[in-house]
Structure 1
């Protein structure tokens, strides 16, 4: 009887143990929305708050890992580490892991780990602002901003324009020759929408660039050969001469002589050429005569990407175009092969070496962060349905028709396709949005967390995360106060069923250096007066080689730069470049600055002037018009 009882107890114990293991297995790895235990809060020594949940894990990749003795020590480390918002501690291995700020944290029960995340108050803590910067609340807009443009104005810019397609929130269907626009006033935070129909032009997916006099040229897109000119002085839109061939997804740029150059663009207007090979060679627009001229020698074939999973029509899209001396243009991407284009006569093309032997970088980002130096990163081999790349490079111009010098940089923290990049007044580059696996009109695999590349250290630093995905059809622009506008994404095909990826909104990002140690606005250099050698009333105009004279509250430790006002669509902003200025003399609190003498270095058009302190804090941007020499 005793043996029978013992056998029963043993069997029962085994069943209980088996049941316990079975329950543990069912809990471990289970996705959760709330902490399954009581949870707790922790405030770090620098007063950053975190929510803590033991025996849970975030099932995403580690971005940084360091050894820490305790969970509390791990959280303290996270509170001082840029970009650490979500974290996981392994108490057995005593390993502290930053998860960054993932779009989908994939929170799971797991008795092997303890997880923590910064609270809303922690995100707004002074110590967080000074390392991660700060995103504003989401601001609803009246169109999905597929393209955007800073509107020139003296003495400083107060608004930008944004536009979508024939509708504020969709595209496609029967042809409708109009475009939905809106204006946003950044001083009053007010907006108004309007429809442009007088030019009979659906401007969706065009080339876009600012001309020397500040007018915006919008060429091609859905109405594939049309050109529309927006004049900020009169706030009017007019139809200009049609291009020689229809184009969409092309890139356009303002040349050193004030003309506009465009190339590629097989999204609309047919592929051209023979046997499905794109042959949309370059052409130039002369604003003085309102005339386009074909450049048969500026052949598109050398700049095609090597392969796209959707076909040849995707291989001539969104060229990285950089105007340089004597009407030349460096095509620095997205194809792995670079080329110089000449725009005189019938045009020409000269091979300029290879940027990245491993792959093309379609839908990557590029920006001139200082004179003759271009930052390029991300993108993918194909236009859609392909992995986003982490690869980054600098491309240094060595002269027209000379091969640039290419330097491979450390990888970005995230692979990004459909991202945007903005050069900041201090020369750093802010990269935001995109997907680790690119798929148009989708938010899957989104990257919310931004990063900043510093050319002084060649390092990428993780910073704050936006609230909304910014992927295909998103934009970003530098504001005159140094914030970055990041908005849009989506604009689904009519009845396309992808409305969840439509983002008719924006946020402003404030970089870390614009906060002081208390989390308040940092002290900025103050400009008392700004004058120029070709000044016209209150309009600061300067010729190449001319001077700017600036009086400030103090000139100690300052550098000075011009940053060209941006116009952006489809991750391309050919207008964007930053040009440091040379100090000629300093008398008291007044400094005289020399503008470069070559319109190739400083193309004609409108710029912000910034005085930049060693901390990165800078003056409010004042408008300068660089004239055509």
Structure 2
């Protein structure tokens, strides 16, 4: 095949550039896997991408000794720990994407089954846990040498299996947890504890209302789903506005049945770039009684159903679909091209120690805009089971970090069907394949100042496609705090394009978009901005909404 003279050097340049962003070119349309680290020292139970392109990960302090030491020769002494009362190992690390390197971090209180959210300044606010960590707030900022700061007794009540969500005013709401039918705010206010009877109503003997699914809707209300039921909630007035229909089929979706949920991408249309018709997607889970059956050694098949609902529709009803396979403990991630990735988990059993079987190693992509019956695509499998306590998150170059899996009460590396896993992988979605090489844009704009709500923003990008006839969109993706099959705070916005795409030079273009209209649509904080051409996203650049 002969290339026009002007395109050959460009293609070589673009190939080098592309390799620097996505590491391993591949041809297969089913995605690809690469092992980044055989061991990061801990099992990645919790995961948060930071605005400095580092990923903070941690597990819990009562697993025993990890495979990485605390920095500066520190140790932790806790006479109440059953595994190890004097522990000089780290249980949190920072992963630097650019150098594929690990730095140990210092956590002194137990973070088991805790929650978190980035605040408006890109600082991770991390809440709760177990025993000495259940009322602790921990913070870590985005800098090269930052470490954890811990604030004991900083929560109103113990928070174990709670959910955190950033609000339009920059506060973080902390909802639920084991035997906590209430919510509170960070920073604290007076009073700072509010009853939420819906959590008590939806708790059963297996407590299928833990890690409730929270989504901020465009009108400023909350969608809250626990067990099989959902409500629209006014957190300022502490009142349920409306209960939505129960999801058909009666299968629980929250921990320990552990399905997952996303707010589908918001397309900002209309004169002000407003979105008025949000849609929620829930997939997977486990039948009622799965936890008790697993205790007895019987592992029921996981749910293979998904439900979609438009919660702001006065006649809202669930529309049900069937996945290619059942899945419990799966993670659902919004990809920058508007698709949903479903990854990790098991085909039988439930969340909990030793209670998952039949690992589902094949990711699935869900395309929300395709017709019913055409939305699922099964991708290439990993060789690594990712069961209880596994996580995943999207990173700026478009890859998906995948780590964790420890279905045991302690670190168990040998003589186990599913040993504790300390490795870190990357999954490369199909849009990173070689066949899309010239279709992938590269943003050349620099955003040193925060974006202002409802204001026009110019985005310049490079595109090597000699015939760029495909659609151009600009999207903002809020990174998630991922744990226990739920990505807290993830949010994908398709911005309104204001005017035509302008060609500045042979391969450089400019498009003007409107920033999100208000904090209900995009709470203050950091987002990754992507330019998407014909379904192929650029690498993301960080922008701050303020």
Using structure 1 for the length normalisation, give the TM-score: 0.68
Aligned residues: 462
Which residue is equivalent to 1:228? Answer: 138
- Aligned ranges for residues 501-580 of structure 1 at < 5 Å? 501-517=419-435, 521=437, 523-531=439-447, 538=448, 540-554=449-463, 557-580=471-494
Which residue is equivalent to 1:389? Answer: 303
Is 1:597 matched up with 2:503? Answer: no
Match of residue 192, structure 2, among 293, 315, 324: 293
Unaligned runs of 5+ in 1: 1-123, 272-278, 532-537
Match of residue 364, structure 1, among 251, 259, 263: 259
Q: Quick one: distance in 2 between partners of 1:237 and 1:318? A: 23
Which residue is equivalent to 2:164? Answer: 252
Which residue is equivalent to 1:338? Answer: 230
Q: Quick one: distance in 2 between partners of 1:347 and 1:231? A: 34
Tell me by how many angstroms 1:395 deviates.
2.5
Match of residue 618, structure 1, among 496, 518, 537: 537
Other structure's SS at 2:378 match: strand
Is 1:164 matched up with 2:59? Answer: yes
Other structure's SS at 1:301 match: helix
Closer/same/farther in 2, CA of residues 261 and 391 from structure 1, 3 Å limit: same
Closer/same/farther in 2, CA of residues 365 and 396 from structure 1, 3 Å limit: same
Tell me by how many angstroms 1:522 deviates.
5.4
Match of residue 92, structure 2, among 181, 189, 196: 181
Q: Quick one: distance in 1 between partners of 2:57 and 2:305? A: 30
Which residue is equivalent to 2:110? Answer: 202
Match of residue 213, structure 2, among 301, 320, 334: 320
Which residue is equivalent to 1:65? Answer: none
Other structure's SS at 2:537 match: coil
Q: Quick one: distance in 1 between partners of 2:545 and 2:25? A: 41
Indicate if the aligned counterparts of 1:177 and 1:202 stay in contact, CA closer than 8 A: no
Unaligned runs of 5+ in 2: 1-23, 67-80, 267-277, 295-299, 504-508
Which residue is equivalent to 1:131? Answer: 29
Tell me by how many angstroms 1:352 deviates.
2.5
Q: Quick one: distance in 2 between partners of 1:623 and 1:500? A: 37
Which residue is equivalent to 1:115? Answer: none
Is 1:489 matched up with 2:399? Answer: no
Other structure's SS at 2:149 match: strand
Which residue is equivalent to 2:43? Answer: 144
Closer/same/farther in 2, CA of residues 137 and 487 from structure 1, 3 Å limit: same
Closer/same/farther in 2, CA of residues 454 and 326 from structure 1, 3 Å limit: closer
Indicate if the aligned counterparts of 2:461 and 2:510 stay in contact, CA closer than 8 A: yes
Q: Quick one: distance in 2 between partners of 1:593 and 1:475? A: 33
Q: Give 1 or 2 for the bigger CA radius of gyration.
A: 1
Closer/same/farther in 2, CA of residues 125 and 618 from structure 1, 3 Å limit: closer
Tell me by how many angstroms 1:334 deviates.
4.0
Closer/same/farther in 2, CA of residues 292 and 593 from structure 1, 3 Å limit: farther
Tell me by how many angstroms 1:349 deviates.
5.8
Tell me by how many angstroms 1:414 deviates.
1.2
Using structure 2 for the length normalisation, give the TM-score: 0.78
Indicate if the aligned counterparts of 2:115 and 2:161 stay in contact, CA closer than 8 A: yes
Indicate if the aligned counterparts of 1:221 and 1:247 stay in contact, CA closer than 8 A: yes
Closer/same/farther in 2, CA of residues 495 and 593 from structure 1, 3 Å limit: closer
Tell me by how many angstroms 1:494 deviates.
3.3
Tell me by how many angstroms 1:216 deviates.
1.2
Indicate if the aligned counterparts of 1:584 and 1:592 stay in contact, CA closer than 8 A: yes
Q: Quick one: distance in 1 between partners of 2:411 and 2:544? A: 44
Q: Quick one: distance in 1 between partners of 2:97 and 2:190? A: 35
Other structure's SS at 1:131 match: coil
Which residue is equivalent to 1:15? Answer: none
Closer/same/farther in 2, CA of residues 583 and 435 from structure 1, 3 Å limit: same
